[in-house]
Each structure stands twice: as structure tokens, then as C-alpha cells.
Amino acid sequence: MAQIYNSTELRRELHPLAEIGLETKKTSEFVLDHLKAIGVPAKHVGNTCGVIGEIDSGVPGPVVMFRADMDALPFEKDGKPVAIHACGHDGHTAMLLETASRLVGKIRKGKLKLLFQPAEETLQGANVMIKEGVLDDVDYLVGAHVRPIQDLKVGTLCPAVVHTASCPVDIYIEGKSSHASRPHLGVNVISVGTSIVDAVGQLQFNPKQVWSIKATQFEANDGALNIIPAKAHLGFDLRAQTTDLMKDMIEQFKRVVNGCCAAYGATVEFKFATLCPAANYDEEVTAELAECIKETAGADKLAPACGGGGEDFHFYKMAKPSIKNGYFGVGVGVTPGLHKMNMTFDDTLLPMGVAVFVKYALRHLG
């Protein structure tokens, strides 16, 4: 009888290992050791800290991949930098390890791949995994996330977590400095910046879709109260329900910013961060996940789709649109919220998520 892991216990062992970004070395070794111990062939994804395990039936059939993220978040405690699992990725890693242990010897056709990805929080990990070819043979891809208590009642699960696209952007405005008593000789970047904030706030998009666009930073100070400042930095945060809407938003944002700067005779430079794509699930997979939730937890535990935040998981579908993908939420009562230093949740509920993964795998590969 093969060993069955307990995701609650594993999560408690993973929690203190918390590591940041692409360098999840201790966590990766933990995952590799635990996969090998139950006879699941596993290796690093290329030279990265990503880990891929495979349970191959040897019989032709579909390839299903489950993905867990492994990284923690950086905080400061008593003046020192610390890494803390404040997004529950320790729970995700633990769920996938228990899932693997429950599926050893049960895959009768096709192949199950278990992907443990670093650097979700920095939005780098998925693209690094994609470059190493993890998607090449994949037909179905499923991920999951523990949800805040405000999103999902404790003990319930939802078949889709509808992340929006996000794109932060910095803009650097250059005007012209002058003595404050001779403002007509300068180009005041504060006037330019406030007109940008105002004009961007007037942009309108289809109200049937979720979107928001707002300034989050504004700095302009040439060192004295009597100097017209020549340089300003503004930061904006853009969110959109679909990646197409985000692309439209970015174009209109650029047009408005360029127009305001031209009107005042200032110049502008844009620095766009990585555009994180929106969720683009396949209805078929979401419906299957809903079935799996009903069959494992009971129909009364199936909650409607919830939303909020972003996820680099959506780079996978963008890179290979033919994959059928889905992503479910696990109501473990995360409080006071994700990304809070003192975030906690009921990890005795992680087996609910494991049951959904196991059921899903057996639907396609059992």
C-alpha cells in the first residue's frame, strides 16, 4: 500500500520554508523528495526551481496537468526582511502532493503531470515554465487557490476564480523649470499631472465589463516651494475583465496622456510593467469542476464563481490557446485577507481541494 500524504500536515511543514520569487530551493527539494518517496518520477523544470512530476499510464490518452504555486511574499519584521506564506501557496503545494499520493497506481490511460511553479507573485514563474516546454503535450490544465473569507464561505468551493487582467504603468513627465515668480517661463508638471489624472478619470469603457483605472502615485518636487517643478512621476493601476479590454484601455490611456502632455508642451515616457492576462476559462472545464465539487463535497457546498486579483496562471492559456483550462477556489476561511502578514486559514480543510483534483484526474484518466 503506497503512502498517502496528509495535506494539512504537509502545509505545516512547508509553511516555515517560505521562499520568494524564482528561488524556492528548499521548497523545491521538499517537493522532489516527497514525489520520489511515493514513486512518482519527478525532476526540476530545466535549471529552474520549478518541479514537474509525472504519473504516466503508458496507455494512450489525454494529458492532464495540475499546477500549484510555491512562492511566498516579502515582508519586514523587526526591521529585517522576512518571507511569509501570506497567499497560501504552501497550502497549494501541500494539496498537490496529497493529490499525487492518492493517484499513484490509479491512472489507467493518458498521463497526469504535476507542476510546482515558483514566482507566481512576481508574475515571472509561468512564463519561465512555458519556455522550458511544460505545456507541450498538455490537453487539460487545472489550478486552485485558497480564498478569503469574504469571497467564499468556509467549507464551500467555487468552480471558477475569475481573475482580471492587470497592468501597472509608470509615467515620467518632463516639463520646464522656472522661478515661481515667472511661471510663464516654465512648464509646470503638476498642472500637466493633475490634468492627466482628471482626463484618465473621464475614460469610459463598457459598463457590462469589470474595469478600473486610477492613479496610485504622484511625485513632483524640485526641492523648493518657489521653483516650478520640471519632472514628475505618476503611477497608474489598470484592471480589466478581459485581456482584449485591457489592450483597448492601454491604447486609450496612452492617447489621453500624450494629448495632455502635448497640450502643455511637456514630454512623457511610459514604463509598462508585465501585462498579466485575465482568466480565460473553458466552460467545459468549469462545468466539470462544478460536478467534481458536487460529487466530493456535496451540492450544498458548491458556491458561485468568485473574482478578484490577478494570477500568472493565465499566461499558460495565452501561450497555448488549445489547452482546456479551469481554476477552482477553496473556501478555507483566509483571514484577515490574502497578502496580509498575519494571514491565517483553516488548513484542516485543504483535503476538500485535494478531493476535487483527484476526482478531476480520474474523470479523464481513470
Chain contacts with Zn ion (rule: CB under 5 A): 87
The distance from CA 168 to its chain's CA centroid, rounded to whole angstroms, is: 14
Which residue, 87 or 256, has its beta carbon nearer to Zn ion?
87
Which residue, 11 or 111, has its beta carbon nearer to Zn ion?
11
CB neighbour class for 115 (10 Å; exposed up to 12, middle 13-18, buried from 19): buried
Which residue, 34 or 89, has its beta carbon nearer to Zn ion?
89
The conformational region for residue 222 under phi > 0 = left, psi -120 to 50 = alpha, else beta, is alpha
* Shortest separation between residue 182's beta carbon and Zn ion, angstroms: 50
At a CB cut-off of 8 Å and minimum separation 6, what does 128 contact? 22, 45, 48, 50, 118, 119
Which residue, 7 or 101, has its beta carbon nearer to Zn ion?
7
* Shortest separation between residue 168's beta carbon and Zn ion, angstroms: 15
* Shortest separation between residue 67's beta carbon and Zn ion, angstroms: 12
* Shortest separation between residue 69's beta carbon and Zn ion, angstroms: 6
Comparing C-alpha atoms, which of 93, 142, 52 is closest to residue 360? Answer: 142
* Shortest separation between residue 226's beta carbon and Zn ion, angstroms: 45
* Shortest separation between residue 260's beta carbon and Zn ion, angstroms: 34
Roughly how many angstroms between the first and final C-alpha of the chain, as a whole number? 18
Which residue, 38 or 87, has its beta carbon nearer to Zn ion?
87
Full 3-state SS string of 233-277: EEEEEEEECCHHHHHHHHHHHHHHHHHHHHHHCCEEEEEECCCEC
* Shortest separation between residue 28's beta carbon and Zn ion, angstroms: 17
* Shortest separation between residue 208's beta carbon and Zn ion, angstroms: 28
Which residue, 87 or 268, has its beta carbon nearer to Zn ion?
87
CA distance 336 to 330: 16
Which residue, 87 or 334, has its beta carbon nearer to Zn ion?
87
Closest-approach residue to Zn ion (CB) = 87
Contact 244, 208 (CB under 8 A): no
Task: Determine the longest span between alpha carbons in the chain, in angstroms.
Answer: 85
Which residue, 141 or 173, has its beta carbon nearer to Zn ion?
141
Comparing C-alpha atoms, which of 275, 230, 220, 221 is closest to residue 253? Answer: 275
